[in-house]
Chains A and B, each alone.
Chain A
């Protein structure tokens, strides 16, 4: 493609693209984010191409592979515009019918629609599905409209308008001012005001400055940045360029973890196309502004999401933190002033410039503005990416959008903010989710992970899980982090094995305080949070583990046993057949017995036993009844 050398040329090109697009022409979009790819979106795409050809509708329909739509639970997702008809869990064999029925026949394929599990009602359009209806997808919304590898698609949704505006109508000071007025806070975790951060780098002495995109997202269960980078890389790049212009940088880096191959691929294509179009490189749009960007693939260490570690890693050194001060804004990459923001933060920038600070700051709470993308996972009906205004209640997110806890189980806790976040109990579900409210409640925003847990979850085990993650992912440089996590993990592991001792809780608190207080970087300083928040809200579970060797939610394997009630067993053999450990003795018309020493506590027998019999039970804290004698087993 030829270079776009001016704003006029950009607008002409945009008009040309739009004029070639008939908004009434059916457009089949297929979600091709990582989650949908995993559930077979690639095969659906091939089928789509085939059927369009076969049924001879190539000229009557447009097909587009887009980034993540968010409703990952129900993928692969097909949405047909202009009506917005939404088909879920689409398989290759459904495509012929979609083309013949919906595209040619203008009829709905009922069986592919969303069915509300609560009332059985079907939803035809995307916007009618409760999961989407209660969201405000300002950042994520464009994902469904564009092919992430198509510059034309991005231009069709107002792409590069914000860049053109700042380059020709705004001074760098005005851009920083706009971001400050918008009150945007960094989406990476700590929530530092982005405009103020930009100002530090802008005012730092030195000619050479850098901007960096932090796409090193390592929280278990979180994939917001991944989906934005995969689905809309041009928006991230545009935000980055606006930031570079504002602080006076001409070089940028995108740090993406190696585990995000689709993000790397789409980003690389986007950079190449932007370069070809003259939207990256020298004298962008004839403004005199030069900017180049390079992609750096990180090896996937959790600590490399931390700014100073990320910079060390970018420089080719071990991904370990440095002390701050000096802050990266003063002494960052190669010792030069550097501004690092995460993917979601950068992606918000073009919108703030296009729609203005007033628009942005009107959304959200007093202290946290705009929307936030959460990845809602765990024991919740509708898992996926959820974008809501700051201040939405946790209860609305989990129950209205997420559809509540599956299988009629009871909600127990929600873990927010990644491994160093915290677990909130049901009584705190009505807090308004923003940076400060979450911190006050003992959790944190983090990058926006949200893991829902039901009554079967052991909170001591959850704390143990997160500490095990942090123990592996700590860089190990400083004593309080490396040793503190190690000792806390030992105590928790012992507890879940039934080896808890009096005094453990006091020692945990002491270790937590030292680790929090004296660690070098945020990983160590926040590492005790999983322990502190669960101890704060679920102390009775810890006490049950230590004092009674009993686990209230019956999930720590060392503290539970399975038992078949002789009077209820019908000798059907269902559990016998299911048991992988040959730990069940039975036979036709004989009462079955579990051999405790062989049992691996997988729970297969409990699931296998027909509900009408209900003979198998899980027990904890009381001795397992003796097996009935051989001669008494005949039914």
Chain B
């Protein structure tokens, strides 16, 4: 692997080609905030809280540190007024869905984010995809997935798989930055409606099976 030289927050560093900015920064002891990053999972770039300023090839860009590979001669800034503003707003947007999330509240304190800035739509889920990716990449079960797109995007368990796999696992629960109960709830909901159900669920907690 080729060695590359770059600068992060004024500090010079040598890193291996292919390393992400986030990993390179951590090796220098520089913390970049993240919500959707996880050591065991491939970079995903969903929360964008790790956005940093990068000067490369004569251009200045905002890039997601968790995904962006280091380039020779790159100059990275991880703490600027502009980045603070972006992170604050992103946190406020996420807090409108999960106002009581502890990791989000911790970051909110750092960046002065107001959890009541936006009207609350308490779905609890911020679609970081940790559960989805963990189930797919680590457990390789694909029991939980994203559905729909845009503002309507949500997560759900696939009942066919969940019935077989989830009872003894539940490893995604503690990964959830907003609430383990959220995962439990979504799981229960999906299992309440077995795929072969001919009797529709009453929605009040009974399974529809006699």
Q: Which residues in A have their C-beta under 8 angstroms from that of B94?
A: 479, 483
**A469-498 residues at the B interface, CB under 8 angstroms:** 470-480, 482-487, 489-490
B residues less than 8 Å from A517 (CB atoms): 51, 62, 82, 86
Instruction: Kindly report which residue of chain A lies nearest to residue B88, judged by CB atoms.
Output: A514
Asked if B148 lies at the interface with its beta carbon under 8 angstroms from chain A, I say yes
Contact call A514/B90, Cβ cutoff below 8 A: yes
Interface residues on A, range: 20 to 34
Interface centre among A475, A486, A518, by most B CB within 10 Å?
A518
Contact A482 B90 (CB under 8 A): no
Interface residue B59 (Cβ < 8 Å from any Cβ of A): no
CA distance A517 to B90 in the complex (A): 11
Contact A482–B47 (Cβ < 8 Å): no
Q: Interface readout for B47-83 with A: 1 if CB under 8 Å, 0 if not? A: 1110100000000001010011100000000000010
Q: Are A323 and B86 in contact (CB under 8 A)?
A: no
Is A478 a contact partner of B48 (Cβ separation < 8 A)?
yes
Complex CA gap A476/B132 in Å reads 14
A17 at the binding interface (Cβ < 8 Å): no
Partner of B148, one of A476, A477, A480: A476
Q: State whether B43 touches A482 (Cβ < 8 A).
A: no
Report A479 CB to chain B, min CB distance, Å: 5
Q: Is there a chain A Cβ closer than 8 Å to B202's Cβ? A: no
Query: Would B45 and A475 count as touching, CB distance under 8 A?
Result: no
Taking a contact as CB atoms under 8 Å apart, the answer to whether B151 and A482 are in contact is yes
The listed residue (B51, B67, B96, B150) touching A475 by CB distance below 8 A is: B150
Known contacts being A474-B151, A476-B150, A482-B127, is A514 close to B64, with CB within 8 Å?
Answer: no
Q: Mark A511-526, 1 if CB is under 8 A from B, else 0.
A: 1011001111000000
B contacts with A, residue count (CB < 8 A): 32
Closest to B145 in A: A318
Known: A323-B43, A482-B127, A518-B48. A476 touches B93 (CB 8 A): no
Is B64 touching A520 in the complex (CB atoms < 8 A)?
A: yes
Bound complex: CA of A418 vs CA of B127, how far in Å? 28
What residues of B have a CB within 8 angstroms of the CB of A326 in the complex?
Answer: 69
Partner of A474, one of B90, B146, B150: B150
How far apart are B97's CB and chain A's nearest CB, in angstroms? 8
Chain A residue numbers with a CB within 8 Å of B90 are 479-480, 483, 514, 518
B119 interface residue (CB < 8 Å to A): yes
Q: How far is the CA of A511 from the CA of B90 in the complex (A)?
A: 9
State whether A473 and B86 are in contact (beta carbons under 8 Å apart), knowing that A323-B45, A487-B93 are contacts in the complex. Answer: no
Q: Is B149 an interface residue (CB 8 A)?
A: yes
| 6 A-B interface contacts by CB (under 8 A) | A472-B151, A476-B152, A476-B153, A478-B48, A485-B150, A520-B48
With A511-B89, A514-B85 already in contact, 13 other A-B pairs whose C-beta atoms are closer than 8 Å: A472-B151, A475-B153, A476-B148, A476-B149, A477-B45, A479-B47, A479-B49, A479-B90, A484-B93, A517-B62, A518-B64, A519-B48, A520-B48
Chain A interface (Cβ < 8 Å from any Cβ of B)? 301, 303, 318, 323, 325-326, 470-480, 482-487, 489-490, 510-511, 513-514, 517-520
